[in-house]
A = this chain, B = another copy of it.
Amino acid sequence: MLTIFIDAVLWGGNTLSVLISKKPDRPLRPPVSKKIVRSLREQITDALRSEVLAGEWTNEAPMREHALAERFGVSRGPIRDALLQLSQEGVLVYSPNKGVRVNTPPAEAERLLLQSMRREMETFCIGRCMKHLTEADDEQLEGILAELTRACERADLSAIADADLALHRYLVRRASRELEGVWQSIASRLLMDYSRIDRLDQIVAEHEAIVRAVKKRNLKAAQKAINANII
């Protein structure tokens, strides 16, 4: 794998330009304890997921591998990996020899089922991780919450989707690394019509309630807040 350094992320209209270099011009500060290296595939997957969930792609036109490869400055290999992963996650739909498109939101009945399953999962996860959460976790959650707040203030749907998922994912991860994959594919499908969200302040309020309850180590309140947020 290639350890890459993102020098800058430029946001301009519909294109996201990420400058990637193999070595930094000057040495960055040494890794704190363990270096976190994310594969190209993982980075591209996350970038594309948040874009799709933010509604920046329609399902009219297929997403072209070549164009994406050029945009991210990599070859088609990692792009294909990312598209394949997002297809399994339910964000994209894959057709053999035809490429991928954005998936459509689940029908009402499916949505209710997935919602119920997500509630079941997150209720389980918060109940499992609550007891061994530390102040460091509180800080992390506050950080994600701050990011979510900033993203809502500037109405950046892509960043909002990122932060929203990140907060929930953090709690799932603390409970069970094993369940993260299942959770992701359920949550992604439920957020497929995220772009229709309009009340941004409500998103902040709901997540503030979650973090508040978690910091107080109040399990019942946390579960209630989470269930209120999963709609």
* Contact indicator per residue, chain A 27-71, by CB within 8 Å of chain B (1) or not (0): 000000000010101000000000000000000000000000000
Interface pair A120/B128, CB less than 8 Å apart:
no
Question: Please, how many angstroms separate the alpha-carbon atoms of A84 and B45 in the complex?
Answer: 13
Q: A174 CB to closest chain B CB, in angstroms? A: 14
Is there a chain B Cβ closer than 8 Å to A146's Cβ?
no
> Is A110 in contact with B1, judged by CB distance below 8 angstroms?
no
The answer to whether A120 and B116 touch across the interface, beta carbons within 8 angstroms, is: yes
Of the residues B37, B85, B117, contact of A84 by C-beta under 8 Å: B85
**Copies, count:** 2
Contact status B179-A110, CB under 8 Å: yes
Known: A39-B96, A41-B84. 11 other contacts (CB 8 A): A1-B97, A37-B96, A80-B81, A81-B81, A103-B178, A110-B178, A113-B124, A114-B182, A116-B120, A182-B182, A182-B186
29 residue pairs bridging A and B, Cβ less than 8 Å apart = A1-B96, A39-B96, A81-B81, A81-B84, A84-B84, A84-B85, A85-B88, A88-B89, A88-B185, A90-B178, A106-B178, A109-B124, A110-B176, A110-B178, A110-B179, A113-B120, A113-B121, A113-B124, A113-B179, A114-B179, A116-B120, A117-B120, A117-B182, A120-B120, A178-B189, A181-B185, A182-B185, A182-B186, A182-B189
